[in-house]
Structure 1
Amino acid sequence: MQQSIQKKKGKSTWRRINNWLHLWLGLTSGIIVFIVSITGCLYAFQHELSDLTQRYKFVEAEAKPYLSPSQLKAIAAKEAFGAGRDTGINKITGISYGSPDKAALATFMDKKDGYTMIYINPYNGNVLKKTALKHDFFRFILEGHFQLWLPRKIGQPIVAIGVLIFVVLLITGLIMWWPKKWNKANRNKSFKIKTNAGPKRINYDLHNVLGFYAMVIALVIGLTGLVWGFQWFSKSYYYTLTGGKTLPKFQKGVSDTLLAKTAVLVSPEDKVWAQMQKEHPEQTGTTQVQFAYLPTDPIAVIYNPAEGTYYKREFRYFDRYSLAELKGGGIYGKKFADASTGEKIYRMNYDIHVGAVLGLTGKFIAFFASLICASLPITGFYIWWGKRKKKSGKQVKPATKRLPRVAASL
């Protein structure tokens, strides 16, 4: 009897295994996929919404030069530590400059609040805002997206496994979606949502049809997310893109000059900053100067010529004593234009993941794709629950015999 039913349904063993995997992998990873997707959806417009609500990030552009890193460092240290001290654990880690209408940003590690930012007017040194990163709404969203608000050692592997399962679900879902015959009825079922049907049918179409339309974008988002999830995937991804090259380690340069360490240089960070201004006089994007404290620390400069994306960033290091440029930065240790095609794609990974590589249009695409991905565990669960309830609701009625009618004459 069972074999005849299977033949009637026309499902092969491979198809039944595929469907079984899709069901149980979906049920086990549903909550993870929902949280990661909905937080990714909220994070899509992080830059735009932050700029809209945090007006202290902006200043009125003036026709005069910025204050130097050492000047802004002294102002930030006074604001952060009260007495202007900048030694030991009390230290400003770096200064970031933006376009002419953007505030400068000083950063340090606060004993209580952790990573803290001070926004300063780069023209006159006025402090605009001091805020801890942990109090930022989008930081909260990012922690949920990356580690489910759990300790990183616990949450991050869970998210990585959940995303890997989600990639498998996309593939098994496509196999389930694929029609056996491409007739008109099957095409309508596969590509259209029947809005005049009952709730169960609409829910099924939302899962089946929307899942198909979002599949390619969802697959791209999932695979780019796995680059942070697993080292083996990140290395394999780079190896594939570059035709067999090994992913270089991200290392900072080391100040190992033979000059006496008591040699006095007047604000070496300022000299590096002045050099960067000569190389990039247009003042677009952002330039961050990171200070050197330990004897082997280099002066680091992170230059990004375009705001809103990160793939063009350049990480450069300078000896704190001689100011000679040092090697470092991994794949970001050279200009984007000088990178190979595979290296460029790898560097674009984050911007592809959030859609920023296509500007505002790409962010909208990532937003709606993430929203659909967040809905799939819900609609999928409802499909399973409906079938389960239907099966459990079936009751076999006991066989009853009708009594013959008694003749009227009797």
Structure 2
Amino acid sequence: MTKKKTYGLRALLNDIHLWLGLISGLIIFLVCLSGTILTFEKEIEGWFQKELVVKPKGNKQPLNKLVQLPTLKEKGTLTAVTLPTNGKQPYVFSIKEDPKQRRGTQYEVNPYTGEILKPEKSSAEGFMRFMFRLHRWLLLDTSIGRPIVGVATIVFLILSLTGIVLWFPKKIKWKYVKAGLKIKTDANWKRINHDLHNTLGFYACILILIMGLTGLCWSFEGYRDGLSRVLGTPVFNRGGAPKISAGNTNGKQLTLEEAVALANKELSYAGELTISLPNKKNPFYNFRKLADASFSTVAHDQLTLTTTGTILNKEIYADKPLNVKIAGAIKSLHTGTIYGTFSKILYFFACLVGTSLPITGTFIYINKLKKKRKRNRVPKEAMA
């Protein structure tokens, strides 16, 4: 008498993993595919666009003169300037062409001649915008597409967690665990397909979980607010820098050149410097500097100066508490830009694995169905 199989926790997790995967497979495939391409968005656009290189000629023009260029003034209100450390790279001027613009339009300027450099429009821009809309909203209206992608992301997180549990063999022995860490390339295609799903999914699961947990910040405002409460600091910090009193502005006003010199004295290392110029709402200079030697792309130091040169605020990234660092890195953690090219490569392969999982998982299900039907088929001899 055969022992009746019990429906345990592992069987339940297997069914959850199977049916959620089949139901959400197409959406997960599209989101991961677009995410894979967007990992190297800037690089792909750069391949199809002529790089703007500045030829050093004489001395750079003073910033005070460059910000007063009529060709820039006629475009709108200058809000920020970015100064690279590489002398062959142009300055970047952020200009609000319309008061409703949140960040403004970026113009690249030759610091030696004051010429506005106009890059050729990349033929990849339209394609990358298409991929972005597919990734964020499935090409639907944002009110419809955003929650659908959000729910699919939650499903993918559940699939990742159940997949990790199911990856471990029933009997935890090294020879069984070891088998799950490699792909048996000399086996038949069914076994190879199973290993591609099982093994690659295991290796990519940590990055997939990070991408999913951070990605929900764009899908659900409530989730973002909840994460902010858990971290104890705002995620994205839409309000910008902490509220700072403008201080005493009586006295000699700094020129832009003098303000930059003072900022570089306080943040005395080579690095890209971005200056947010004083305005009615924030009547002081805000500086953000990223060291050339920094491995992280989010490790900016910040400095706030009055227009007379008084230091109102100085924030060194290394001194920030961990929760503030995590909150400030949510976007970079999601896109893989946090450690530059190194992390982008890891995210690219993790997204590629995520794209393949719905495909390999579907084939595993089809193969199991065929095997079950074959097992349940009544032999002709028995019917005779």
TM range (shorter): 0.7 to 0.9
Instruction: Provide the residue aligned with 1:204 in structure 2.
Output: 194
Counterpart code for 2:10: R
Q: Determine the C-alpha separation between the residues in 2 that align with 1:326 and 1:32.
A: 48
- Give the RMSD, CA atoms, in angstroms: 4.2
Q: Secondary structure at the match of 2:274?
A: strand
The counterpart of 1:303, out of the listed 284, 288, 296, is: 288
Asked if 2 retains the 8 angstrom alpha-carbon contact of 1:35 and 1:144, the reply is yes
Unaligned ranges ≥5, structure 1: 78-83, 328-332, 403-410
Counterpart code for 2:315: K
Q: Determine the C-alpha separation between the residues in 1 that align with 2:137 and 2:303.
A: 30
Instruction: Provide the residue aligned with 2:110 in structure 1.
Output: 121
Residues 215-236 of structure 1, C-alpha deviations (whole Å, 9 max, x = no match): 2232233333334444454455
Q: Secondary structure at the match of 1:95?
A: strand
The question of 1:312 aligning with 2:299 is answered: yes
Q: TM-score, normalised by structure 2?
A: 0.76
Q: Determine the C-alpha separation between the residues in 2 that align with 1:132 and 1:272.
A: 34
Q: Secondary structure at the match of 1:376?
A: helix
Q: TM-score, normalised by structure 1?
A: 0.72
The question of 1:251 aligning with 2:239 is answered: yes
1:162-311 equivalences in 2 (<5 Å):
162-183=152-173, 186-187=176-177, 189-237=179-227, 239-240=229-230, 245-247=232-234, 249-252=237-240, 272-273=259-260, 275-280=262-267, 284-290=271-277, 292=279, 295-296=280-281, 298=283, 301-306=286-291, 309-311=296-298
The counterpart of 2:80, out of the listed 85, 90, 94, is: 94
1:5-404 equivalences in 2 (<5 Å):
5-7=4-6, 11-12=7-8, 14-48=9-43, 54-61=49-56, 64-68=59-63, 71-72=66-67, 74=69, 76-77=71-72, 85=74, 90-99=76-85, 100-108=87-95, 116-130=105-119, 135=125, 138-183=128-173, 186-187=176-177, 189-237=179-227, 239-240=229-230, 245-247=232-234, 249-252=237-240, 272-273=259-260, 275-280=262-267, 284-290=271-277, 292=279, 295-296=280-281, 298=283, 301-306=286-291, 309-314=296-301, 334-389=315-370, 391=372, 395-396=377-378
Unaligned ranges ≥5, structure 2: none
The 10-residue stretch of structure 1 (67-76 or 96-105) with the greater mean CA deviation from structure 2: 67-76
The 10-residue stretch of structure 1 (352-361 or 202-211) with the greater mean CA deviation from structure 2: 352-361
Asked if 2 retains the 8 angstrom alpha-carbon contact of 1:148 and 1:159, the reply is yes
Corresponding residue pairs, total: 373
Q: Determine the C-alpha separation between the residues in 2 that align with 1:69 and 1:21.
A: 63
Q: Please identify the structure whose Cα radius of gyration is greater.
A: 1
Residues 164-211 of structure 1, C-alpha deviations (whole Å, 9 max, x = no match): 221211110112221111357634542232222222221111101111
Asked if 1 retains the 8 angstrom alpha-carbon contact of 2:297 and 2:337, the reply is no
Q: Determine the C-alpha separation between the residues in 1 that align with 2:142 and 2:284.
A: 29
Asked if 1 retains the 8 angstrom alpha-carbon contact of 2:302 and 2:316, the reply is no
